[in-house]
Structure 1
Amino acid sequence: MKKGLVGLTLILVLLCVLGATSADATTVKMSYNGPADEVNNAVHYYAVNFKKMVEEGTKGKIHIQLYPDSQLGNEEERMELLMKSGLNQPIINVASYAGMAPVLPELYAASIPFMFDSYEAAHIFFDTGSYWTKLKDEFKKRTGAVLLEAVEEGGFLAFTNSKREIRHPKDFKGLKFRAMDEGQVTLYKAFGASGIPIPWTELYMALKTGVVDGQMNPATYIIIGSLYEVQKYMTLANIQYSDQFLVINGDLFDEFPEEDREVIVKAAYQANVATRQMVEAQDAEQIKFLEGKGMQAYTPNAQEMNAFREIGQSAYVEWLKSKVGKDWLDMALNDAKIANEKAK
């Protein structure tokens, strides 16, 4: 009987301790785009790993509640929520360029086409570059929020089209491409093609009916959109590195003790390393899948890549000068050059 009472007492004490721990925990909302699908949504894969690492690293003092599928609002609404003062709505957000650029247009300097020769070069650029360090400081000054990571969300963008294999910029002449923004229109025009703005939801039919001949996207989106059914040729030209950005409410971050801030920063990076490994392995398999569906994938040689870079990058940078200061552009391009050399 006494043993039973002792056991019951221990259980009650344990429940009280767990209750106290739970009551003392800070719950943080983490929002991002896309479904709660670890296989097909790399950002969700990242969020799941980040949540686990933070909760384990802080021993449950910080609890992260995930809100996929933009449940806390669209890009603009989530950024507004993120930048609000006070701790009533503690939030972490994974934002795309659409969410970040209105408050930090200098970020576009990281999207200059053909900047990176490899994934490793992109990693070096964002992990150690002076541009990225300065950009994070600038974001904190303007918004009060903290920019932590450039989260890898997919493979490099590739060109696809239904007409002919593209090995050199001259092969674009006369073709019509779907453009996502003014920058892509500028890029296609430099190659002798035309860029036509078309929403993602209308892209498949536009390709099928010949409104446009081609588009650019990572392999994962070509699969998601079944674009392989209406596209035959794919050029793996490392056009742009596909990423989104982990940001956290500044009041919330500053409120945490230093040891917890260190856990968050470390978790943000380590979760990104895991996501990079997943994305890059998946990208290689996805390209094989597309080839199995009848697409012809071509990887330009060094001479051909130089031609893409010289023609396309210069036109894109000239367009960007109206939005981003020359010092930011020069810094980003210089960091990319250093990263490419280190990655060789």
Structure 2
Amino acid sequence: MKKWIKAITFIMVLTLILAACNTSKPQTSGASVSGDGYEETTIRLAYNLPQDHHISKGIEQFAKDVTDKSDGAVKVQVYPAGQLLSDKDMNQSILSGGVEMGVNSATLWASTVPAMGIFDVPYVFTTYEEAGEALNGEFGDKLRTAMEEKGAKVLLFADYGYAQFANNKRPLKSPSDFEGLKIRSIGDIPSEMIKAYGASPVFMGGGEVYMALQRNTVDGATSGTTAMLQRKYDEVTKYLTINNYAYLEFILAVNQDYWNGLPEKTQTLLTETAKETEDWIRLQAEAEDKLTAKQLEEKGMEVYVVPEEDLLEWKEAAKPAWDAFSKNAGDLGNKLLEMVDKK
């Protein structure tokens, strides 16, 4: 009899323990929830820039901050420097849900949202502050909405910095100095400007430019000074022209359907952390542009800074590029041009 009483008592205690265990960890929609109330999830984030680029550093910090703030519940797993996806495959993978998040240039997003090509239009933004104000206001909101309509939510605009020209033939002190040169281009709109200046645009990947310059396949190239320094342009070009013709943007985007399925608390965490990252990257863009231009000069490049009073001549000569954008970017693109064109 005593054995039966002991057995029944043991079963009752075990039942109470199991019941306590089942209620100690609340379940939401079948998913595990952390002590801070974040639903556990792992987000894959891919980018192609070198890991020492200021945008890359910002993105890596974004991933760390999200993970830390959620006490490890929301993990952002980063795939840097093209490890997971090439820049050509990135956008389609984000749109299809092949990857949850990715960083890519606005130039490449222009094939999906033509108005994104606005950042390649010559002399649209003349200062870092002007670009920041536009992106934080109605201008940026219109681009965000257009991206969402295509299936990608913009978490942040990552300022790459201004694009410049390097070449190994002669100083480029006016648009007429481009006559007859072969210049590596970064997109359709810059190509229209290069042609308008009298040169021939040549398309190639960033990793191919050094060899092309060394072998005189091209005479020069356009890029940011951050990339010029990283890719050692100083070894194969002599002249650098600082004319700040395009304020290049990269975009951290997330698949819209995936975003819609995230808990509101997680969405808030990602949004607030992305804003902090966006502000940090914008400050770094200006500092890095100045620093890398100086370093290229110290390495032997002859630097010419176009005087502010001469920029109108460069802008007017680039009008065919504005016309090409206006023709292809639709109503939204033209509305954006009206918002930023002060002339």
Question: What is the TM-score of this pair, normalised by structure 2?
Answer: 0.81
After TM superposition, where is structure 1 displaced by more than 4 Å over at least 4 residues in a row?
Answer: none
**Within 1, Cα distance between the matches of 2:67 and 2:82?**
22
Report the counterpart of residue 100 of structure 1 in structure 2. 109
Write the letter of the residue equivalent to 2:127.
S
Aligned partners of 2:326 and 2:334 also within 8 Å = no
1:31 corresponds to which residue? Answer: 46
Equivalent pairs counted in the alignment come to 313
Matches within 5 A, 1:1-344: 21=34, 24-35=39-50, 37=51, 40-84=52-96, 91-97=100-106, 99-128=108-137, 130-143=138-151, 145-153=152-160, 155-312=161-318, 314-325=319-330, 327-337=331-341
Which amino acid in structure 2 is aligned with residue 266 of structure 1?
Answer: E
Deviates more, 1:178-187 or 1:315-324: 178-187
The answer (yes or no) to whether the contact 2:158–2:249 under 8 Å persists in 1 is: yes
* Equivalent position amino acid for 1:245 in 2: I
- Report the CA distance between 1:308 and its aligned residue: 0.8
Whole-Å separation in 2 of the counterparts to 1:162 and 1:75: 28
Identity of aligned residues (%): 26
Compared CA separation, residues 66 and 201, structure 1 to 2 (3 A): closer
- Cα deviation per residue 1:42-77 (whole Å; 9 max; x = unaligned)? 232122221233234444442211111233323454
Q: CA deviation at 1:320?
A: 2.2
Code of the residue aligned with 2:304 in structure 1: it is: Y
Give 3-state SS (helix, strand or coil) of 1:260's partner.
helix
Amino acid at match of 1:32: Y
5+ unaligned residues in a row in structure 2: which ranges?
A: 1-20, 26-31
In the TM superposition, what is the alpha-carbon distance from 1:98 to its structure 2 partner? 5.8
Q: 1:49 to 1:222 in 2, by over 3 A?
A: same
CA contact (8 A) 2:53 2:226 kept: no
Amino acid at match of 1:80: Q
State the structure with more CA Rg. 2
1:107 deviates by 0.9
Q: What residue in structure 2 maps to residue 3 of structure 1?
A: none
Structure 1 gaps of 5+ residues are: 1-12
3-state SS of 2:246 partner: coil
Task: Give the residue type in structure 2 aligned to 1:277.
Answer: L
Superimposed CA distance per residue, residues 140-196 of structure 1 (whole angstroms, 9 cap, x where no aligned partner): 1222x312221123x311111222222221222233322334433321221122223
Contact 2:122 2:190 in 1 (8 A): no
What do the CA deviations read for 1:233-290 (whole angstroms, capped 9, x no partner)?
2111112112211111223322333343222112112111112223322221211111
Does the residue aligned with 2:273 lie in a helix, a strand or coil? helix
Query: Displacement, 1:120?
Result: 1.3
Specify the code of the residue in structure 2 equivalent to 1:21.
S
Is contact 2:157-2:251 (8 Å) kept?
Answer: yes
Find the aligned partners of 1:127 and 1:202 in 2 and give their Cα distance: 35
Q: Decide whether the 8 Å contact of 1:166 with 1:172 is kept in 2.
A: yes
8 Å CA contact retained: 1:75, 1:98: no
Q: Which amino acid aligns with 1:146?
A: K
Question: Does the Cα contact within 8 Å between 1:82 and 1:248 map onto a contact in 2?
Answer: yes
**If each structure's strand is expressed as a fraction of its own residues, which one has the higher value?**
2
Inter-CA distance 25–204: structure 2 relative to 1 (3 Å threshold)? same
**Distance change in 2, residues 1:71/1:208 (3 Å):** closer
Mapped contact 1:30–1:93 kept (Cα < 8 A) = yes
Give the distance between the partners of 1:122 and 1:183, measured in 2 at CA: 18
| Matches of 2:236 and 2:135, distance apart in 1 | 35
Secondary structure, counterpart of 1:21 in structure 2? coil
CA contact (8 A) 2:119 2:249 kept: no
Letter in 2 for 1:283: D
Compared with structure 1, are the counterparts of its residues 20 and 193 closer, same or farther at alpha carbon in structure 2 (3 Å cutoff)?
Answer: closer
